[in-house]
Structure 1
């Protein structure tokens, strides 16, 4: 196991001085200064397009600044790629984990750094000894023989962290590390990070969850429009002040208000579905979504949410059961036919599934609706009417763009999501299936999207919401259905439960 020599001797373990990075006329980082002190947890917060990702790429050696310098151990440093950063003790845990399927947790831990014995064979006992030592240091216990495919998401995350430690990293960059965790798992992660900090490690914590930022960090740097707005001690600020610094104005939180339940719109009976490997992931689910209500599905990632949504929308074939929409059986219909009958679908993956990044903003705003009689005549598209409608729709949802003819990839993630939700709510569908509607969206965008969902519900729309953000679920949902291990384990009404209760149910504990 590699170690970094005396990492706490330097006051500034990792930082930036005057870092500027341009992409054409866009200035992603503008003379950025910040200092993460050795043995501290330093949070980096900012909205979409603030420049956080560019700065992290520079700190990891994946990109080079046009001006300014990275600071490592109080000294200017040039990072010639991630391997060079790693040699200086800097590692990153990405949102999308890098573990290799089909291998055990132990094999993933030592992959490419395996200890060997005679004849070049892997010394498993030595590898397991290193794993146990890391376990003890981190205060965790793992089944190292478990396949990564079978490991819960929080266990995979712990292995990612330990793998960096095994390779000698004492600076850990964590990008939205709590996005897919239950509350108790978040507490365990925060406790782990604090133990690592107390052992002298330095942690950069990138997150939009301000409650967690306030609870875990020692210092905070706020970035807006590529510039550092302020760096401060966590003890010297508040969540409200952070939110204002991030967006440049006071943000009022979405107020929870109950819906008025109407007729049943979507009914699932004994719905079952398998994953891509043929493993049963959704088991005999029964639920109803009414007009005028938001029903949320709460569960730790990987407990059957993808299969439930796939079976409801027609993206995957259900193994059993039925789905009806406004009294009509749609179980055998593909997604386009279900759309034609009043189902709208907001994909959790806007880049790969929800949008066509190469197409224009306007085209993305009307695709799926382009066959309306107002937009087509004798098979020929009425481009003028389409353009006018798209402009009206984009304005209504406050989509910031230089031109609607530009590729939608030119927009920030939050504005892309505004286009997607504008398109899905256009025409007032009977039901909106909204999956991770605020994923990758900053706090201003989150507030806007929440308001859109509530206003649609108040017009009589039905919403089936799948989210990994429990605060979002509690704010929006009239009813909460908890999914654990493919089974619906309980139902709560607005005001019946708090985050802790829902979190326990998500882990299979009785309500």
Structure 2
């Protein structure tokens, strides 16, 4: 007589994890059945990352247990978790750009001949076997550096399958994908589920969660609030459970038709990336007061270079940037700020903030010589403290002391500090690159309200986002960017997920 099938392939029973006085996981329970897609949702600081580290064997609980196949287990290391079939695809891909897709697939698990030489024929056969299992086709000789982002995502999943994983933890797997690529990935997840694999799907995109998941566990402030079936809930109910109260997104009214001289005019601009490679252009784009222009594109198609150039930080090969008709192409970065161009960097940790510096120092960065904050070359500490306190309170930043390092704040509160700093200078233009990346639902709604209020007060916003919902809900005009070139433009009234998605992939909107 065969053993009965397990009811829980992977789960948690009363897991507690403390970091000093902070309780990251407070008695969390959940159970994912074999051959299902189980979504885990929650806001910043809810405890999702800590829970996933425990399920991977990276961290160990102070109390409670990991459940595998209905039994309590103790995972001592990631290798221990992997030996039990558990693998994870992180938001930041763990791939080597200089190697091919095949070389990345077999890295550290290479099939070899008797003499120790890699058996490339066997490696390719194994690659094709795994790809067929997943129902995908890849060019195995392509370098990762040349692969589109959705191919990299698929490769990360195939690496787990190649190594024998049957529990796949996918952390925000659709964050940088276009709509058609999201559908392809969800199709892949469903095929893997049909083969009996179990998928933990961590995401803040509730449309996708409702579409893909068989069950959904909501975590808030370290506790598992509930587990529900998609048919028993709604996006609005999930949002409320995640935050603890209803979440209201800003009501965005279309901007008035633009006229006159653009506040920012980008003309036949060509720019390079950080490695000196051509990445953007030539592109021509105008931005007018009182409007939000959304740049829609899949990661790696020139958005970073566009944002950097517009903020005075990029390497420009050709073309020009004008503000109010004045050529500022070769002006120093500080001049861009002095003229009223504010910049929210997509890389909050690397460019937008100095994580080891204090909240106060991050707030005045770039404004330390302003008359309000200095006199005769000396900082006016009381004025800085009061200015920072006022600005941070206005944006509802939650912090302990002004001297605390900014890294002590949640991702959402870090972003609010960056916004407070940029708005303190009363800018006329806001370059907002991925403004809600890593921010929870309540934080997203708050940041959206700030952007809309800035536009309604006459400010001009260049919104660069890989979040299609964000582009569609905020933008007055939407410009597609693919391969560093503009693929088309849509007015708010003409835009849809399908039409913008086509622009993101280099196709005509139709």
TM range (shorter): over 0.9
DSSP 3-state at the match of 2:132: helix
1:247 to 218, 243, 246: 243
Aligned match of 1:493: 491
Asked whether the equivalents of residues 247 and 444 of structure 1 are also in contact (C-alpha less than 8 Å), the reply is yes
Instruction: Map residues 95-114 of structure 1 onto 2, 5 A cutoff.
Output: 95-114=91-110
Asked whether the equivalents of residues 13 and 74 of structure 1 are also in contact (C-alpha less than 8 Å), the reply is yes
Q: Write the distance in 2 (CA, Å) between the matches of 1:480 and 1:8.
A: 54
Aligned match of 1:286: 284
Q: Write the distance in 2 (CA, Å) between the matches of 1:409 and 1:278.
A: 31
Q: Write the distance in 1 (CA, Å) between the matches of 2:189 and 2:71.
A: 25
Provide Cα deviations, 1:122-151, integer angstroms capped at 9, x if missing partner: 111111111111111111111111111111
Aligned match of 1:265: 263
Instruction: Map residues 21-420 of structure 1 onto 2, 5 A cutoff.
Output: 21-260=17-256, 261=258, 263-420=261-418
Any gaps of 5 or more consecutive residues in structure 2? Answer: none
Q: Write the distance in 2 (CA, Å) between the matches of 1:274 and 1:354.
A: 20
The 4+ residue runs of structure 1 with deviation greater than 4 A are: none
Asked whether the equivalents of residues 7 and 170 of structure 1 are also in contact (C-alpha less than 8 Å), the reply is no
Report the CA distance between 1:7 and its aligned residue: 12
Q: Write the distance in 2 (CA, Å) between the matches of 1:272 and 1:503.
A: 24
Asked whether the equivalents of residues 218 and 235 of structure 1 are also in contact (C-alpha less than 8 Å), the reply is no
Provide Cα deviations, 1:190-233, integer angstroms capped at 9, x if missing partner: 00001101100000000000000000000111000001111122
Q: Write the distance in 2 (CA, Å) between the matches of 1:22 and 1:38.
A: 29
Q: Write the distance in 2 (CA, Å) between the matches of 1:242 and 1:178.
A: 19
Report the CA distance between 1:335 and its aligned residue: 1.9
Q: Write the distance in 2 (CA, Å) between the matches of 1:114 and 1:235.
A: 44
Asked whether the equivalents of residues 487 and 507 of structure 2 are also in contact (C-alpha less than 8 Å), the reply is no
DSSP 3-state at the match of 2:216: strand
Asked whether the equivalents of residues 8 and 38 of structure 1 are also in contact (C-alpha less than 8 Å), the reply is no
Asked whether the equivalents of residues 8 and 200 of structure 1 are also in contact (C-alpha less than 8 Å), the reply is no
Asked whether the equivalents of residues 7 and 38 of structure 1 are also in contact (C-alpha less than 8 Å), the reply is no
Q: Write the distance in 2 (CA, Å) between the matches of 1:353 and 1:508.
A: 29
DSSP 3-state at the match of 1:452: helix
Q: Write the distance in 2 (CA, Å) between the matches of 1:326 and 1:386.
A: 31
Report the CA distance between 1:371 and its aligned residue: 1.4
Aligned match of 1:3: none
Aligned match of 1:457: 455
Aligned match of 2:466: 468
Any gaps of 5 or more consecutive residues in structure 1? Answer: 1-5
Report the CA distance between 1:8 and its aligned residue: 9.5
Query: What is the number of residues matched between the two proteins?
Result: 506
Q: Write the distance in 2 (CA, Å) between the matches of 1:284 and 1:167.
A: 43
TM-score under structure 1 normalisation? Answer: 0.97
Pair 1:197–1:329, CA change in 2 (3 A): same
Asked whether the equivalents of residues 340 and 425 of structure 2 are also in contact (C-alpha less than 8 Å), the reply is no
Q: CA RMSD in A?
A: 1.4
Q: Write the distance in 1 (CA, Å) between the matches of 2:216 and 2:4.
A: 20
Asked whether the equivalents of residues 249 and 448 of structure 2 are also in contact (C-alpha less than 8 Å), the reply is no
Q: Write the distance in 1 (CA, Å) between the matches of 2:423 and 2:491.
A: 25
DSSP 3-state at the match of 1:428: coil
Q: Write the distance in 1 (CA, Å) between the matches of 2:274 and 2:3.
A: 45
Q: Write the distance in 2 (CA, Å) between the matches of 1:336 and 1:277.
A: 23
TM-score under structure 2 normalisation? Answer: 0.97
Report the CA distance between 1:404 and its aligned residue: 2.1
Report the CA distance between 1:314 and its aligned residue: 2.3
Provide Cα deviations, 1:456-496, integer angstroms capped at 9, x if missing partner: 01111111110001110111111111111111111111111
Q: Write the distance in 1 (CA, Å) between the matches of 2:234 and 2:458.
A: 38
Report the CA distance between 1:508 and its aligned residue: 1.3
Asked whether the equivalents of residues 252 and 452 of structure 2 are also in contact (C-alpha less than 8 Å), the reply is no
Q: Write the distance in 2 (CA, Å) between the matches of 1:355 and 1:80.
A: 35
Q: Write the distance in 1 (CA, Å) between the matches of 2:330 and 2:342.
A: 17
